Structure formats: structure tokens, C-alpha cells
Chains A and B, each alone.
Chain A
Amino acid sequence: MTENVHSHHHILPLSLYFTIAGILFVLTGITVGVSYYDFGSFNIVVALTIAVIKGSLVALYFMHLRYDNKLYGAILVLSLVFLSIFIGLTMIDTLYRGEIQPIEGSVINENAIIYEQNK
């Protein structure tokens, strides 16, 4: 961790940067490759898993989170927690609103460009 308090600049070896970039390239190739196969509803799971791995590598090594004060990493994680609350609660509302009580009322904007509903 921080062996030397005075030299707080952590200089990483060049090879680490190239290795990380190499892994990111390979993972990009894999995510494009697997997109040609259909895993049904698992498509999004596979794609997002690879994206999360790539994102973590960028954050941990290119953004130095692995070597920096843990507070910065906590802020990033906190932003993702807020994001999941935001998206999670919104999705619960928009998907299941009608199941708790029937949706009544008219269309908000008659001129909204929604073509025929494909139901």
C-alpha cells in the first residue's frame, strides 16, 4: 500500500498499462463475437458482465483507484448505488404500476408521437 508517505505518487510499470489495454481489446473482441450468438434473455447478462469487467479494469488501473485513497473508489461505488436505486425504483413503478391498482385516466399528450401500440 503506501510504504512511503512522502512519495505519494504511485508510479505503475509501463507493462501494466499495456496489459490492461490488451485485456480491454480482447474483451471488446469477445463481446462483439458473442453478440452474433443468441442466448435469449441472457444476451444482456453476458454483454453487461463483460462491460462491468472492462469498466472495473479502467477504474482500477487507468484511474488508479486500486492504489489511491479508498474514499475515491467509495464515491464511484456510491454513484452506482444511487444509479441502481434510481433505475430500480423507476422500473418497478413503470412495469408494475397497473398491478397494484388499475391505471385510470387519459393520455397525457394526445399529440405525442407514439404510433400504434404493438400489443
Chain B
Amino acid sequence: MEHAEHPSYLQHHFADSQQQEETAKLGMWIFLLTEVLLFGGLFAFYAIYRAWHPEMFVEAHKVLDIPMGALNTFVLITSSLTMALSIRAMQVNNKKQTIWLLVATLLLAATFLVIKYFEYSHKFHLGQLPGKYYTYEGITAANPHIFFSIYFTMTGLHGLHVVIGMAVITWVLIRTIKNNFSSEYYTPIEMTGLYWHLVDLIWIFLFPLLYLIG
């Protein structure tokens, strides 16, 4: 069996496609662990400054737009759904549906960024900015610029993940169109899905912590 014909997607160093898939998934989950810890540093940043300045956090979080944040939560959950469904479509060999669902995921990701852009530009306009760029005068508690440092760092890093996610989804979309995948092999779409769901997962925590708690 060593030199038997194998499918083009199966690398030589794997015994079979199941082993190859499980290896990819293990690697992906370890990468996601590092992602959790990357954002974890910022969650620690949040926890420490919130503990030091509780009144300021309560007052400053009120300038965030809850409807916009909630809308973005709905957009991102829907994109997670379309991403999961695109993988399922490939599992049942429905390539056309996979393509449309990946396109839908991309459009929803873009919608998320457009909404985020409106929120950011509004804050830029009012001077609700991090650190020394903070010029807004509507918050009476001391040190409100710290809240906006945290807000922009956390949502900024998350937004960067959305942009990277869009690039990766575009890549698997092109490969799907090129007929690289089938119900036998679709690991890259599945790994992209895991990454995309993690981006959704992080937003699920960012949204209440930044917009709602007060």
C-alpha cells in the first residue's frame, strides 16, 4: 500500500485522509488557543482598569451605541451560520450552495466592518479617542481616555481579525470555484470556519463587556 495511488489532496506523509484532517484540526485548535491568549491579554487589560475605575467605566460605556453593537452581533452570528452551512453544503457535495454561502459570509463580514466604520468615525468626530488623543468633554469621571484605549484596542484587534477572515474566506471561495474541494476533502473550508467562529465567539464577549455592562 505504501506506493498506492492516493488522492491529489493527500500529502505523502499522512497514512490516510482522516489522519491528515485530524492533524490539521489539532494544529488549528492549538492556533486558536494562542488566539484566546492573545485576546486574553486585552481582557486582563479590561479587568484591571475596570477594577481600578469602576465609576468611569459605567459612565464612559454609555457613549457607545447599543443598537449599533447589537446589530453587529446579529450580523456576526448570521455570518457564523452561513459559514457553518457552507461547510455542510460541501459535506453533501453541493458546491454551488457552498459558493453562495461563502459569498454571503463575506458580505456579512463587510457589513460588520461598515457598521464599525460608522461607530469609529462618530467617535473620531467627537474626540472619544484613546490616550492623549482624547478631547471629548462629556464624561465627568476621571481618566475616561483609558476606557477608549481599551475600546479601540479590543475592537481594533477584533476588526483586524475580521479583515484577515475575509481574506481567508476569499481564498477558500476561489479554491471552491476551482473545484479543489469535495465531500471527501474540504479541510481548508472547515479550518476557515473554526477561525471565523472564534472571531464570532470573541465578539460575543466583547459586546456585553464594552457596550452593556454598567
Q: Is residue B121 within 8 Å, beta carbon to beta carbon, of the partner chain?
A: no
Q: Residues of A contacting B142 with CB < 8 Å? A: 115-118
Given contacts A25-B74, A28-B74, A68-B25, contact A17 B81 (CB under 8 A): yes
**A26 shortest CB reach to chain B, Å:** 11
A86 with B40: in contact, given A47-B213, A55-B204, A118-B55 (CB under 8 Å)?
yes
Q: Is the CB of B205 within 8 A of A87?
A: no
B201 at the interface (CB under 8 A from A): yes
**What chain B residues lie within 8 Å of A103 (beta carbons)?**
none
Known: A58-B201, A59-B201, A86-B44. A43 touches B26 (CB 8 A): no
Q: Is B48 in contact with A21, judged by CB distance below 8 angstroms? A: no
Any B CB within 8 A of the CB of A94:
yes
Q: Does B158 contact A (CB under 8 A)?
A: no
**Contact A35:B33 (CB < 8 A) given known A51-B208, A113-B131:** no
Interface residues on A, range: 35 or more
Contacts of B145 on A, CB cut-off 8 Å? 113, 115
Task: Find out whether the CB atom of A78 lies under 8 angstroms from the CB atom of B74.
Answer: no
CB pair B48–A94 under 8 Å, yes or no, is yes
Given contacts A28-B77, A71-B26, contact A94 B52 (CB under 8 A): yes
1/0 contact string of A50-77 vs chain B (CB within 8 Å): 1100110011011100001101100110
Does B104 sit within 8 A of A, measured CB to CB? no
Contact A90 B48 (CB under 8 A): yes
Evaluate contact between B213 and A44: CB separation under 8 angstroms: yes
Task: List, in ascending order, chain A residues with CB within 8 A of B66's CB.
Answer: 32, 35
Contact across chains for A115 and B200 when beta carbons are under 8 A apart:
no
